[in-house]
Amino acid sequence: MTAGEAPTTEESGLVRRIAKRASLFNLAGLFIAWALVFAFFTWQIGLSFGGRANVETLFRQTTIVGLASLGATFIIVSGGIDLSVGSVVAFVTVVIARVVQAGHSPWVALAAGVAAGALAGLLNGVLITRLKVGAFIVTLGTLGLFRGIATGLANEQKIDAPETWLNEILATLGKSERWRLLPYGVWFTLGLAFLMSWILRRTVFGRHVVAVGSNEHAARLCGVPIDRVKLLVYVIGGITVGLAGLMQFSRLTVGDPTVARGLELDVIAAVVIGGASLSGGQGSIAGTLLGALLLSTIRSGASQMGLPNWVQDIVTGAIIVLSVTLDRFRTRQS
Amino acid sequence: MRGVSKRFGATQALDAVDLDVQQGEVHALLGENGSGKSTLMRVLAGAIPPDEGEMVLDGQPYRPRNPIDARRAGIAMIHQELSLCPDLSVAENVLLGLEDASQGVIRKGRTRQRAQEALARLGYPDLDVDLPVRRLPIAVRQIVEIARSVALGSKVVVLDEPTSSLTQEDAARLFSVVEVLRREGHAIVYISHFLDEIKRIGDRLTVLRDGRSVATRAVTETDADEMVSLMVGRRIDTMYPRSSRTPGEEILRIEGLQGEKRPTRASLSLHRGEVLGIAGLNGSGRTELLRVIFGLDAIRSGRVRVGHHEGAAKPARRWEEGLGLLSEDRKAEGLALGMTIADNLTLTALDRLGRHGTVSPGRQLATGQEWVSRLAVRCQGPTQAVGELSGGNQQKVALARLLFHGVDVLLLDEPTRGIDVGSKEQIYGLIDQAALEGKAVLMVSSYLPELLGVCDRIAVMHKGVLGEAVRVEETDSERIIREATGA
């Protein structure tokens, strides 16, 4: 569109309609990409890959990254970043294990885990908004900090906790439970995703998150409370990471201070593949979830094909660069 | 605004400026670059506090502490760099900060409706308010920003050079929007260099010169001649050395040069021993011309020849061909502020300071020492970080880089911007010296007396088109301003 042709004219009606639906096109593209990958592995591996049991497994495997990515989407849309995700997940598993071990009810342990995540997010947010230090540096620091706290709290070893219903949140469904289609943890994640997507699109807070990431200077001029928005975004990020930690604990039944190393990179990859820009302002919850699903499908398919880890790493890396390049190309076109 | 003054360090940016704008009036603010218009508007918008003077808004004393205060009080600034969020929709941008919401949930229908109303009042009832601003052309974005000030109920709307990046048709549409604002009783401050625009839409005008308000006139009672002489109104000093020199062989030639955005058409021929000046308004494409020649921006069409080398080239190649550029943005682009004087000076010619890709610290230091004393750079020594020097001394280091490199053609972009008078005189001396030695200088400046004092010939850039270079004896500042403003 040149400066001369205003989009109020009739000719640009089509362009306009496409532009308006651009995010939908983006999602459709991602979905097609995922469907192609899924079909490829089903063809290679056979129906065992495309079957109900494996699809359930795929969703279960996506849940941890998916949950952490929900909050990370808010953070990245606001123009920030969180590198401490993996460490906070480890910290949360240790907190939950300690609380269960001490004989408290699973509900108390759950609340303690989520609160630990929220506190970690609060610390990130306070450091970023009060010290005026970049989010990258702050969370690079807290990446070490929370891993250290987790290791100390666990006395440098794994903490075994007695089995409770917490371990069934993400467990494989037994025959009698098939009517639920997916484990509770997966349903919960999907529900939370709907809620957060709605918050981002329809509430004042959500639009302020986009405004801050899109043009912080303009947002400040319009009276948007920048620091409060950022702080809240990191707390929300912390809560979803806390929930991811809960799922991690559920799968392992131990508090493990060494778990989830590098998870933050998967999370950032999922958000970026989902259409977010690391410079802020762009990104969607639905895209992020599709991005996370795409990543775990590739990983699971590659390992079921018997491909070694290093091949998976190469493929995953290539997908990240490719998807972002395609996205840049697409935005330049329009 | 009464008797507003502002001082930055040694420069008196504003000196007891008076400005009085009434409701339902388009008040034009005129002045050359650096005359204090932007500073005055930053004071009005609460971005900087005045040292002296007072402001009265609607009979009430007005003392904004920050830009948000100013907005709440009803002052809306529309800058060239618009303050919109490109990822939000038109409607969301219009109501950003005052969302129509219940319990934190945005009332989508009401939001759209209110944005549509504001846009309809400005004559844009059909603009799709759901479109992200990213997808709108610049002219329409400007309207969105004006709609925001309408929705806010602003009393004063300041338009800072609103048409400088618009086409003629878009500018005409903007004028009708300004007309609506005036009819609705807003007070409008209109900053523009284009005198014909001011004649067309302005009611009254105030001229600033060297930080003072020199006159306020009704637009109908003045003409272009008077406006220009009010803006210029000063004598050329005697600080410009210009030795008598004769131009030698041609060393730089460009024909029909066109960049991605600007310049749109530029041709010139530069000879050894010559200083050629380029005048024009900010945004007319002067800087872009130098950047395109130097290979920093892409060439769309046209030819560049440097000596015997023909065609486009990257900056590294241009240095080899004997071309050097002094950036207008000394801090961001011209110098590496954290590095030492010696490092900055030798950056383009490190291969001369050692063998097999090594750099000898001793030779680098000696070179630094030599040039520091040659140019009388005031510093603790060649190992001091450039960022710690004053602007004038920084600029001397930046210029010394070109001289040390031994370039034949110096492309100088605003070589004396923001530096003290003493350093200015020295830089004029260095330019004269370079020309005497048979180098060629192509110099962009917004300060006319300087161009008239230093150059042999001057060409004027207007909206991307470079005019014919004229011998300096055959032109004067009025003629240049006329050409630059298209009057």
Domain ranges of chain B: 2-232, 250-485
What is the rounded distance in angstroms from the CA atom of residue B397 to the CA atom of residue B389?
10
- Chain A residue with CA closest to B165: the answer is A3
B332 CB within 8 Å of a chain A CB: no
Instruction: For residue B274, give the nearest of B309, B238, B243, B304 by alpha carbon.
Output: B243
What is the rounded distance in angstroms from the CA atom of residue A214 to the CA atom of residue A281?
4
Top pLDDT among B237 and B395 is at B395
Chain B residues with beta carbon closer than 8 angstroms to that of A281: 85-87
A130 CB within 8 Å of a chain B CB: no
Report the relative pairing of strands B105-106 and B101-102 from DSSP bridges. antiparallel
- Percent above pLDDT 90 for chain B: 40
Contact B132 A19 (CB under 8 A): yes
What is the rounded distance in angstroms from the CA atom of residue A8 to the CA atom of residue A16?
9
B170 CB within 8 Å of a chain A CB: yes
Extended beta strands in B23-166, E state: 25-30, 52-54, 56-57, 60-61, 75-78, 101-102, 105-106, 156-160
Q: Residues A301-321: what's their mean pLDDT?
A: 87
Q: Residues A284-301: what's their mean pLDDT?
A: 93
Degrees to nearest 5, angle at CA B206 with B205 and B207:
120
Window 64-123 of B: residues touching A by CB (8 A cutoff) are: 67-68, 71-72, 82-88, 92, 96-99, 101, 104-106, 108
Instruction: For residue A74, give the nearest of A266, A276, A290, A217 by alpha carbon.
Output: A276
B126 CB within 8 Å of a chain A CB: yes
**Residue B6: is its pLDDT beyond 80?**
no
What is the rounded distance in angstroms from the CA atom of residue B34 to the CA atom of residue A10?
44
- Chain A residue with CA closest to B123: the answer is A8
Degrees to nearest 5, angle at CA A197 with A83 and A76:
25
Taking CA atoms, B109 is separated from A19, B99, B100, B106, B147, in Å, by 21, 12, 9, 9, 18
CATH of the domain at A160: 1.10.3470
Question: In 10 A of CB A22, how many CB atoms?
Answer: 16
Contact B106 A203 (CB under 8 A): yes
Residue A277 sits in which domain range? 58-333
Fold of B2-232: Rossmann fold (3.40.50)
Q: Residues A241-257: what's their mean pLDDT?
A: 93
Radius of gyration of chain B (CA): 25
B169 CB within 8 Å of a chain A CB: yes
A224 CB within 8 Å of a chain B CB: yes
Is the previous residue joined to B263 through a cis bond, with omega within 30 degrees of 0?
Answer: yes
A8 CB within 8 Å of a chain B CB: yes
What is the rounded distance in angstroms from the CA atom of residue B475 to the CA atom of residue B482?
11
Q: How does pLDDT run across B253-311, given as a tens digit for each residue?
A: 999 999 988 899 999 999 999 999 999 988 889 999 999 999 999 999 999 999 889 98
Is residue A1 in a domain?
no
Contact A205 B104 (CB under 8 A): yes
Confidence of residue A229 (pLDDT cuts 50, 70, 90): very high
Q: How does pLDDT run across A141-163, given as a tens digit for each residue?
A: 999 999 999 999 999 999 998 88
Contact A7 B96 (CB under 8 A): no
Is residue A29 in a domain?
no
Residue B377 buriedness (CB in 10 A; 0-12 / 13-18 / 19+): buried
What is the rounded distance in angstroms from the CA atom of residue B487 to the CA atom of residue B479?
10
pTM higher than 0.80 for the full model? Answer: no
Give helix then strand counts, H and E, for chain A.
14, 2
- The position carrying tokens 């310049």 is B263
| Residues 6 or more apart in contact with residue A228 via CB below 8 angstroms | none
What is the rounded distance in angstroms from the CA atom of residue A116 to the CA atom of residue B180?
56
Confidence of residue B11 (pLDDT cuts 50, 70, 90): low
d(CA A57, nearest CA chain B) in Å: 36
What is the rounded distance in angstroms from the CA atom of residue A203 to the CA atom of residue B480?
54
CA A155 to chain centre: 29
Q: Which two tokens stand for residue B85?
A: 């969020």
- CB contact at 8 A, B83 and B38: no
Among B68, B95, B96, pick the best mutation site for testing chain A contact (most A Cβ within 10 A). Answer: B96
Report ipTM (2 d.p.): 0.80
- CB contact at 8 A, A77 and A213: yes
Nearest to A4 among B82, B85, B167 (CB): B167
B47 CB within 8 Å of a chain A CB: no
Is residue A50 in a domain?
no
- Chain B residue with CA closest to A18: the answer is B131
CATH number of B250-485: 3.40.50.300
d(CA A25, nearest CA chain B) in Å: 15
Query: Using CA of residue A212, residue A214, residue A216, residue A218, what is the dihedral sign?
Result: negative
What domain count does chain A have? 1
- Chain A residue with CA closest to B138: the answer is A3
Among B87, B142, B262, pick the best mutation site for testing chain A contact (most A Cβ within 10 A). Answer: B87
In this chain, the answer to whether the domains covering B2-232 and B250-485 adopt an identical fold is yes
- DSSP state letter for B208: E
B258 CB within 8 Å of a chain A CB: no
Is residue A191 in a domain?
yes
DSSP SS3 for B227? helix
Instruction: For residue B454, give the nearest of B402, B412, B401 by alpha carbon.
Output: B412
Nearest to A3 among B99, B128, B166 (CB): B166
Nearest to A204 among B84, B99, B166 (CB): B99
**Residue B250: is its pLDDT beyond 80?**
yes
